[in-house]
Chains A and B, each alone.
Chain A
Amino acid sequence: MIIQHLFYKEWLKTRWTWLAAVVLGVAAVLYLFLRVENGMERFGAKIYMLRVLYDNPPLIYYRMLLYVPVLIALCVGVTQYLPEVSNRRIRLTLHLPASNTRLILGMALYGVVMITLANLILFGLFVARNVALFPAEITRPVLQSVAPWFVAAYPAYNFVAMVALEPHRWRQLIYALVGWFVLSPLVVCGEAVGSYARMIVPLAVMAVASFPLLLFSSYRFSKGL
């Protein structure tokens, strides 16, 4: 019951931004494959696929997707936490009759759910279009390259929440810089199909490991530290 009402509040804050971000993400995926189809028409599907696999450098047709999931996560995080921290409005949330941990985790869970929904839509569309246009020999390594970018959305969201909930400006700056320097080397687009697929492991670890950090920020906030 409490989680349902908490989700309602979060939904009211984020719905339009989330929807707009997902629509733009979908548009990016559709545009990306429009260019693929155009390339296949111009050069022929076989030549196009050879360029994807063997050109030097190869044709990385999916490059524009690189930061899309992270940007969606940032949009969700900012629209979720900015109204809470302006005027220290989060006091209203923390005053609700539930434990502070449960309330903050409830908000974070909402963010994770919305990012997952966005990821499912975009990744699903990407897979569907890819399967329709390319054989499995290309689709499989491409998906392995792209999957870490979607996983990166989770630690990015956690860092946004952590920065937003932190009461001190200089600590916010430090968290933001740490988040940037730790995350940005892991969200990369290689020069070959299937490259950097192993980034999924450190990014997944970071997603899990950074989740409790936002509790630390909210604890500091609630104790006026």
Chain B
Amino acid sequence: METRTNVIECRNLTHYYGKKLVYENLNFAVGEGRILGLLGKNGAGKSTTINILNGFLAPRSGQCLIYGEDTQHLSPATKSRIGYLIEGHIQYSFMNVHQIEKFYSGFYPRWDRDAYFNLINRLKILPRQKIASMSCGQRAQVALGLILAQDPDLLILDDFSLGLDPGYRRLFVDYLREYAKSRGKTVFLTSHIIQDMERLIDDILIMDYNRVLYQGPLSDFQRDFKGFFFDTDAATGDLAGDRRVVNLERLNRRCELYTYASEEEIRTLLHDHGIVPEGFHRETLTLEDAFIGLTGKY
């Protein structure tokens, strides 16, 4: 049996902003060589988790470990194994592409200059152009190039797709996936653009306010989580209380029922509630559909 060591382990993580609970007793782990996507609505705690992982926020209680070290006290050696992309591809905007490469190269023993310039040379930028005057897509490529040159074992990417047009997003995702898989890198990432995740991640962690809604392999989630659609005039309010119904959205006669249960169980459930569904069918859900089905539209 294959055993994987965990690169990231968060145990009983609890955090509040003032009196507002962000989450309580959050537990998750990321195995070596896996790509985990953290999904959640705005305010669900994605950036909080990223900040705790990078040691920029002390949780109220609980602990996060990266390579066995508490993230509040990461050693320089462990820091050098972590590539960090800040939301919005923030970098030192007063530098140009050569200056920033020169700056970072002094900090990382495995610095791969060619990896950086292979990516940068694709950009249509002037050699002395400041990062501040680049487009969002160009800045994203610079930030990604720096991470690739660092050659980290773990990549933490906070909302990597923010501000990128579809072409740059696709380039970023494909480049990242190929890089991570070919070199056995571990990736922990968040994104608002969920369809990007589908091409990229192995595992998924879906958070809602104060709780984890799903945690596991993406393939299992996409296999097990289902959406059934039907029309009815009957009242459906009672269904929402059934443990088999994860979420029920209704607009006039149109109902969307999201569940981990089988089609047979749902048909029985509707029958038991005296609901005669019209046009009952299951639809194949994209990850975005499933995410909205799980978390609700608002």
Contacts and interface: CB of A to CB of B under 8 A. Distances in A.
A9 B103 contact: yes
A164 B108 CA distance: 28
Interface stretch (A46-54, A85-93, A183-191): A85-93
Given A4-B106, A5-B106, A97 B79 contact: yes
Contacts of A8: 99, 102-103, 106
B107 interface: yes
Given A9-B92, A12-B94, A223-B58, A97 B106 contact: no
B233 to A, nearest CB: 52
Chain B interface size, as a band, is 20 to 34
Contacts, number: 75
A12 B93 CA distance: 11
Interface string B143-167: 0000000000000000000000000
A97 B107 contact: yes
Given A97-B77, A97-B108, A99-B76, A224 B90 contact: no
A87 B88 contact: yes
Contact of A1 (B72, B82, B92, B106): B106
B108 A13 contact: no
B75 to A, nearest CB: 8
Interface string B269-295: 000000000000000000000000000
Nearest to A224: B57
Q: Is the interface of A mostly helix, strand, loop or mixed?
A: helix
Interface string A1-26: 11011001100110000000000000
Contacts of B108: 97
B27 interface: no
Given A2-B107, A4-B106, A224-B57, A96 B79 contact: yes
Contacts of A169: none
A124 interface: no
Contacts of B95: 9, 12
Residues of A in contact with B, size category: 20 to 34
B80 interface: yes
A91 B86 contact: yes
A83 B95 CA distance: 11
A42 interface: no
B6 interface: no
B83 to A, nearest CB: 9
A94 interface: yes
A98 interface: yes
Nearest to A222: B56
Contacts of B57: 223-224
A8 B100 CA distance: 10
A201 to B, nearest CB: 38
Most buried by B among A12, A97, A223, A224: A97
Contacts of A91: 54, 56, 84, 86, 90
B25 interface: no
A2 B82 contact: no
A96 B92 contact: no
B42 to A, nearest CB: 18
13 contacts: A4-B106, A12-B92, A89-B90, A91-B90, A92-B90, A95-B84, A96-B79, A96-B107, A97-B77, A97-B108, A98-B76, A98-B79, A225-B58
Interface of B: 51, 54-58, 72, 76-77, 79-80, 82, 84, 86, 88, 90-95, 99, 102-108
Interface of A: 1-2, 4-5, 8-9, 12-13, 83, 87-89, 91-92, 94-99, 221-225
Given A92-B86, A95-B84, 13 more contacts: A1-B106, A2-B107, A5-B106, A8-B99, A9-B92, A12-B103, A88-B90, A91-B90, A94-B55, A96-B107, A97-B77, A97-B108, A224-B57
